[in-house]
Amino acid sequence: MTDPLSQIAHQKGIRYFLICFTDLFGVQRAKLVPSQAIDLLAANGAGFAGFAAWLDMTPADPDILAIPDPNSLFQLPWRPDVAWMPADLYSVDGKPIIQTPRLVLKSVLSQAEERGYRVRTGVECEYFLLSAEGHQLSDPRDRSSKPCYDQESLMRRFDVISEICDGMLNLGWGPYQNDHEDANGQFEMNWTYADALCTADRHAFFKYMVKSIAEKHGLRATFMPKPFPHLTGNGCHTHLSVWDNAGTTNLFYDPEGELGLSSLAYQFIGGVLHSAQALCAFTNPTINSYKRIHAPVTASGATWSPSTISYSGNNRTHTIRIPDAGRFELRLADGAANPYLLPAALIALGLDGIEQKRDPGPRYDNNSYTDPLPKGTVKSLPIHLLDALRSLETNTILANALNNGFVKSYLKLKYQEWRDYSKQISPWELEQTINC
């Protein structure tokens, strides 16, 4: 994009720009900039106090500068006089801030490019539509025990769903289907896969768009992993393939390979499975995340989330599914996953798998919910966030690939989150132990 942003603003009727960065906890931070000032701030950056966001900084640190990426400009479909641009963070002397999730992803993608690889991803973002207060489902008639694909419940939310889909159509994302998901009040929208950074920017904007349009309609949207104990949680299933740098040849595709995957693809999967417990610190980054992947049977009869570190064919009960030739699906991640750190960690582990020629082991096609593998056959996923953080702390592969300083900052903040959680006294604890 070569035209000045002020000129683009004039052509498209943009009055304001949101210069946005995503912090380590996935919170989007932004400044609203009038179009008359956008060229100066685009060149020099919008100033932020780093301590005010989750970036492991102090009040004594100098300001940080958010440099927006004009190649990822999203004009708000529901408010076209405003445009959103993701930004990268730099210090005032021009050095990159290593705690910037978007820069972490760009660094990993550069490592892939140096090896001759171009990574493409797609995400399936599940979310609930709640009442405005967020305490209950927005549709009291959505009560079926098997609500997945329910036509009537879907169409009762047509105004919200169609406005979001129309927005993606206008943005050129290629959305191709919308459905009611497995939980009451839960929905999913699918759009075309793209280069990993493009998908990550779209993922970040999608979450903002869904929440904003829901609020416009008097509702609240949440991507929380497990908001209701008896219902299926929100996943963020991620599809991935590796191409040559020109983007013309899918290096994961092999018509002679098992399930249409190449040896390169299986090595990538081997790398992911090898460090899956540490990966959970990014794919399942909250306390609540582990109530989704280790949940009891839900009202629908299945959680649709994995509990073992295993891969399968077209089988949704394992961590990795191979639904088609030339790609795989990671079913582990949930709605709280950071749009940039999720692909960064996943790709880093896959590159390690290729580098070390890791063997993913045998494929298991059992139903993990009704016919679990014998104990000790495969490893289990962490049972809570603390386990995942401890696995990340000892994992040198992610520390080297993502930057050791970044991983230390992430762990520092996440351990503090665990300590804050541990100080709380829940109603359950009071009820169970008050008479001790």
DSSP calls for 280-343: HHHHS-STGGGGTTTPPP-TTS------BS-EESS-TTSSEE--STT-EEE---BTTS-TTHHH
CB burial string 79-113: b at 16+ within 10 A, e below = eeebbbbbbbbbeeeeebbbbbbbbbbbbbbeebe
pLDDT at res. 2: 66
Q: Are strands 16-22 and 236-244 parallel, antiparallel or unpaired?
A: unpaired
- Structural domains in the chain plus CATH codes: 5-97 (3.10.20.70), 107-427 (3.30.590.10)
Task: Estimate to the nearest angstrom the gap between the alpha carbon of 361 and the chain centroid.
Answer: 27
Name residue 221's beta-bridge partners.
129
Distance CA 383, CA 277 (A): 10
For the entire predicted model, the pTM comes to 0.97
Helix (H, G, I), strand (E, B) or coil at 406: helix
Q: Measuring CA to CA, how many Å separate 313 from each of 97, 100, 272, 367, 406?
A: 40, 35, 16, 11, 35
Can you list the residues of the chain whose pLDDT is less than 50?
1
pLDDT at res. 3: 83
Q: Name the token pair of 215.
A: 């609020």
Question: pLDDT, tens digit, for every residue of 83-138?
Answer: 999 999 999 999 999 999 999 999 999 999 999 999 999 999 999 999 999 989 99
Longest dimension (CA), the chain: 70
Distance CA 242, CA 261 (A): 11
pLDDT at res. 294: 87
Which phi and psi angles does 130 have, rounded to 5°? -115, 175
Burial of 2 (C-beta count, 10 Å sphere; 0-12/13-18/19+): exposed
